[in-house]
Structure 1
Amino acid sequence: MLKETIKVKWYFVARFLCQVFTLLFFRYRVYGRNQIPADGPFIVAGNHQSFLDPVFMGIGAKRRMLFMARDSLFRSRLFGGLIRSTNAIPLARDKADIGAIKLVLARLKEGHGVCLYPEGTRSSDGKITAFKPGFGLLCRRSQAPVVPALVDGAFECWPRHRTLFSPGPIVVWFGEPLPPEEIRRMTNEQLADWLTHTLRQMQHHCRLKQGKPPYDYTDESPSPDSRQSIE
């Protein structure tokens, strides 16, 4: 009990430090914070533009979240220990990591939230690539609502080919949750497709609102009505 209390307190201390870092270097705005359920389990499914995405998502959400990160990030004892202490869970990228999935399901059943990046890796051009359907089984078994979450501007500030980040505007937008009963009626592929198109539509509206050119997805299949509107 004491260990868990210390871990919770450290998470919010670390989040405060991340808030200070973000305010120093970025023009940060967050929308839709109230879309995160006030209690019970939830899954945040976000696009992945930079190494700093978990920081931007974490300080934007009112509640504590777990983050799934590729296992190679834990090879360094110092950095691995740091991110593990802030609720990061290692996930093997090249195989079905049953152990990690069971751990996440257990935490969700306890009423916690988790942040996933179903693209599998950071974007190479800022665009949202098609979500991998493998996370759908986890979503259905968790009985948790899925919140689509957009980060925009992170690619311009820290693209994957650049060593260091540069200051700039960052927007995080939590969209309307998809209820568990709707998720159960979808296949893994349908859920991945819905989230992909929903986030692309959110990204389109977000960039237009900022006066930035939207990304071109004309070669992709038509996107359904995502029912999302930025505040």
Structure 2
Amino acid sequence: MWLYKFGKAICTAYYKFLYKVEVMGANHFPKEGSVLLVSNHISNNDPPLLGITCPREISFMAKEELFKVPVLKSILYRIRAFPVKRGMSDRTALKTGLALLKEGQVLGLFPEGTRSRTGELGTGLAGAGFFALRSNAQVVPCAIIGSYKPFSKIKVIYGEPIDFESMRLGKISAQEATDIMMEKIRELIEKNSK
């Protein structure tokens, strides 16, 4: 998608001028096949920051309200975003996400469901676990560390893929699967916050 590549180039120039962006662990990211990318969520800047640091194009869920703005709606679809109704089970969004993973694409999620007002890692919602258990995607945890203050350092750390194969066979719940992801994200934050 030309618009995604164009947007990535613009955002790369902007974010690398405004912040000291440090990327770690990108070599862990699978070069092919479906990937569920799960990250903490501290700012509205998180999706574009992941977009410029991830080795592959990402499709993100975005709150439905954004798609009600005509011009923005057109742009969002062209940069691989799709709508999700917050606060309820959105079957259409779940089907769209699973279809993307079935096609071997990268689906980006923020399991907390909303931005953390304090910067502290919150509780993950079961939706992320649903995607992990209902697909064969490799699950990559990611941590974003920083304040987004101009010219400050922002770290993006990609962890090693979590092995969900045995957990899929073990019939764990979607919430338990999400909890495992959140713990991996927590470990990345604690290890790299110094």
TM bucket, shorter chain = over 0.9
Map 1:1-231; keep pairs closer than 5 Å: 8-153=1-146, 156-157=147-148, 166-184=150-168, 185=170, 186-208=172-194
Moved over 3 A (4+): none
Shift, 1:140, TM fit: 1.4
Within 1, Cα distance between the matches of 2:68 and 2:145? 29
Q: Residues 139-163 of structure 1: CA distance to partner in whole angstroms, max 9, x if unpaired?
A: 211211110011111xx22xxxxxx
Q: Secondary structure at the match of 2:193?
A: helix
- The Cα RMSD (Å) is 1.4
Q: Secondary structure at the match of 1:170?
A: strand
Shift, 1:53, TM fit: 0.3
Q: Secondary structure at the match of 1:29?
A: strand
Which deviates further from its counterpart, 191-200 or 139-148? 191-200
Q: Calculate the TM-score normalised by the size of structure 1.
A: 0.79
What 5-or-longer segments of structure 1 have no aligned partner?
1-7, 158-164, 209-231
Within 2, Cα distance between the matches of 1:134 and 1:89? 15
Q: Identity of counterpart residues, as a percentage?
A: 30
Say if 2:133 and 2:177, in contact at 8 Å, map to a contact too.
no
Answer with 1 or 2: which has the greater Rg: 1
- Cα 1:9–1:190 shift into 2, 3 Å: same
- Cα 1:78–1:166 shift into 2, 3 Å: farther
- Cα 1:127–1:110 shift into 2, 3 Å: same
Shift, 1:90, TM fit: 0.7
Q: Calculate the TM-score normalised by the size of structure 2.
A: 0.93
Count of paired positions: 192
